[in-house]
Structure 1
Amino acid sequence: MSEAYITRIAKFLPNEAVSNEEMEQYLGYINGKPSKSKAIVLRNNKIKSRYYAITKDGTVTHTNAEMAALAVRALFADAPDTLKEIDLLSCATSSADQLMPSHGVMVHGHLPETESIEVVSPSGVCCAGMHAFKYAYMSVRLGEKVKAVSCASERLSSVLRSDQFEDEIQQLIKLEQNPFLAFEKDFLRWMLSDGAGSFLVESKPNKDSISLKIEWIEGCSYANHEEACMYMGADKLPDGTLKSYKDYKPDEVLEKSILSIKQDVKLLGEKIVKLGFTKLKNILIEKGVSMDDVQYFLPHLSSYFFESKIDEFFTENGIPIPKEKWFTNLDSKGNVGAASIYMMLEEVFNSGRLKKGEKILLAVPESSRFSYMFCLLTVV
């Protein structure tokens, strides 16, 4: 089989960065009052800015598909004519603009210069972006594709606006006592960001600049024995099963906020680090990779609250990662879901700091029903 390399990485961020102080001007006030939990959630997640594809009055400036297409175009900014050479478009999101058609074909619709190519749309949450990447990687390795593009994008700002929520009284004292309780519906309002990222995957590395050789991509799901932790378009029943929005009457969908994103905070705290990073430890042993071999560790974090939890796990399991090897831009970009890992790798790739032979380890946990994706790259 051919080798596969990431030869270009690009991103698209809508509008200007939104500071913590400006957030409620965009997302609105629930029950006409400033959020009591906002300061606590932001203190734990340590995000300082994020991007929204809306204006302060809620007007949409970009659709999800438009942002993804702009990120793809950015890959070919220095040679726009070569956009037509793409032979695969693999597009991921957890926040498609519509239920049908698929997100991928909508992105393709914004790229008329391309040919009638293969398009796929991996669904999911944070891991979806890695699934899109793996499809591109496998297609190139098999020799079926020459210029494969994977992209991931999110646009959730519209559903985070106050007019999408019921009036809720925040339990400030409980939030102070247990940060996990901040991971409720209001928590996600101060966390999520809009944007898109893209990779160009080819069978040969760049001649005049660095590329990233894809050594391996591994994933796993624990849904066979874990119930849903984060969900949207459904409600969680006492037995842990999800009841679909399709099975509610229209007035119940509104009354119960079925279309809002929800998080089972108890499960999140108990499971998210232990499950996934135990798997990563086993993968590294199986692949014969030591953390000493890795120069950059890029973990997708929903909150800096989990940074210390992951660090503790690694230390307790005899695979400590020095903090100077960690990289995340959560504080400046926010949590862009499936696109977060693209945002991080783009910043590192285009930083000018990478040296040939260095290795980069990607780790993407997804809390929705506990899925994980890991990848090792080598700078060439």
Structure 2
Amino acid sequence: MTTLPYVSGFSAHTPANVLTNKDLEAFVDTNDEWIRTRTGIHERRKAPDGVANADLAAEAARGALALSGCPAESITHIVVVTCSPDVLCPSTACQVAGRLGLRARVAIDVNAACTGFVSGLDVARGFLATQKKARVLLIASETLSRFCDWADRTTCVLFGDGAGAVILSNEAIQPGGLHARLHDVRHAADGSGGDLLHFGGRYTNPGSITPSDVFGKEYFIQMNGREVFKHAVRSMTEACQEVLHDNNLTIADIDLFVPHQANLRIIEAVGSRLNVKPEQLFINLQKYGNTSAASIPIALAEAREEGRLKPGAKVLLTSFGGGFTWGAALLIFDE
């Protein structure tokens, strides 16, 4: 019988700098009411110049280590999920290892866009399946504000910065402490939708660049919101239904539903199709906006702080991101 991995440490770190909808009115053709009614977002966090993605990741990691009672030196694998790294090389995971003073560990980045945390759970599960004594530090960290076109009101109002982290292991690190078991996780992709959400370079016409080149709009987030909405709602709903069915559960059995915090309309549409009750749903995008892969672990950390991660609780996660990618996972907390 395969051991179900333990998940503990539920930690988050977000920049102190708050960018409200009112702040955006000063330099974007938008207003607070327009943003709230279309997205549900009131404010978001923005990393200041000089604060790296890896800095946010390392702070979230330190929190997870402390909350789980896991000594940093016992970590064998560092997995960072991000689509907004500071640099292409070295990896964000290697930078985090350096900040934590860890050497001779596995350190890799995973890019599945907003689905990254769900995908990262599966990557970590794979390490644990082959290495009994492994302890995996899984971090989701994003600085998407640096890829926003601040003249494009359809995208720049959506995104924020932040990081979240958990520890996965084959044994309870802190017996009696707060931890869940990872009962199921699955994720998938459809590359045919890549042109509907992308950033960071020439998607349709790749080629060489030179030091004299000036970044154009292709560097910043490009999104067909209407099409992304349709794909996101369908894919997240189906992923959740599959996980529930395969684990002999219904949505009524779920104590907490934590979807990717992308847009309130998407969350409400998925919730409606799954018949999620208001008391089951966790939403915090009003404070952080869309933090991509970091949104679910940030939400889990806040749910922990609010006492909503309780012994015996069944927690369903789901996400959707550029690629397209999507997935769902089931956490059940030990009694």
Considering the TM-score relative to the shorter chain, is it more than 0.5? yes
Match of 1:94 in 2: 83
Instruction: Tell me which amino acid in the other structure corresponds to 2:85.
Output: A
Measure the CA separation in 2 of the matches of 1:308 and 1:16: 28
Match of 1:199 in 2: 166
Contact 1:19 1:48 in 2 (8 A): yes
Contact 2:141 2:294 in 1 (8 A): yes
Contact 2:283 2:299 in 1 (8 A): yes
Match of 1:294 in 2: 254
For structure 2, the 5+ residue unaligned runs are none
Measure the CA separation in 1 of the matches of 2:92 and 2:271: 36
1:334-365: CA deviation from partner (whole Å, max 9, x where unpaired): 21111001101111233334332220000111
Matched, 1:370 2:324: yes
Match of 2:154 in 1: 187
1:244-291: CA deviation from partner (whole Å, max 9, x where unpaired): 2x357778764x412111002342243221233224323422332211
Match of 1:46 in 2: 40
Structure 2 CA distance for partners of 1:270 and 1:374, relative to 1, 3 Å: closer
Secondary structure (helix, strand or coil) at the match of 1:342 reads helix
Match of 2:205 in 1: 243
Secondary structure (helix, strand or coil) at the match of 1:73 reads helix
Measure the CA separation in 2 of the matches of 1:14 and 1:37: 23
Secondary structure (helix, strand or coil) at the match of 1:121 reads strand
Measure the CA separation in 2 of the matches of 1:342 and 1:46: 19
Matched, 1:348 2:310: no
Deviation at 1:136, TM superposition (A): 1.7
Secondary structure (helix, strand or coil) at the match of 1:268 reads helix
2:142 equivalent among 149, 154, 172:
154
Structure 2 CA distance for partners of 1:339 and 1:296, relative to 1, 3 Å: same
Structure 2 CA distance for partners of 1:270 and 1:130, relative to 1, 3 Å: closer
1:220-249: CA deviation from partner (whole Å, max 9, x where unpaired): 1122x545320013456xxxxx322x3577
Measure the CA separation in 2 of the matches of 1:323 and 1:304: 13
Contact 1:154 1:194 in 2 (8 A): yes
Instruction: Tell me which amino acid in the other structure corresponds to 2:320.
Output: P
Structure 2 CA distance for partners of 1:72 and 1:191, relative to 1, 3 Å: same
Secondary structure (helix, strand or coil) at the match of 1:189 reads coil
1:178-217: CA deviation from partner (whole Å, max 9, x where unpaired): xxxxxxx422211111111100112223323221111011
Match of 1:180 in 2: none
Measure the CA separation in 2 of the matches of 1:292 and 1:161: 41
Matched, 1:69 2:63: no
Equivalent pairs, count = 332
Contact 2:143 2:160 in 1 (8 A): yes
Contact 2:144 2:291 in 1 (8 A): no
Query: Structure 1 length normalisation: TM-score?
Result: 0.79
Measure the CA separation in 1 of the matches of 2:70 and 2:118: 27
1:111 equivalent among 95, 100, 108:
100
Structure 2 CA distance for partners of 1:200 and 1:333, relative to 1, 3 Å: same
Measure the CA separation in 2 of the matches of 1:339 and 1:79: 19
Contact 2:257 2:281 in 1 (8 A): yes
1:211 equivalent among 171, 179, 197:
179
Contact 1:217 1:375 in 2 (8 A): yes
Secondary structure (helix, strand or coil) at the match of 1:152 reads strand
Identity %: 21
Match of 1:233 in 2: 200
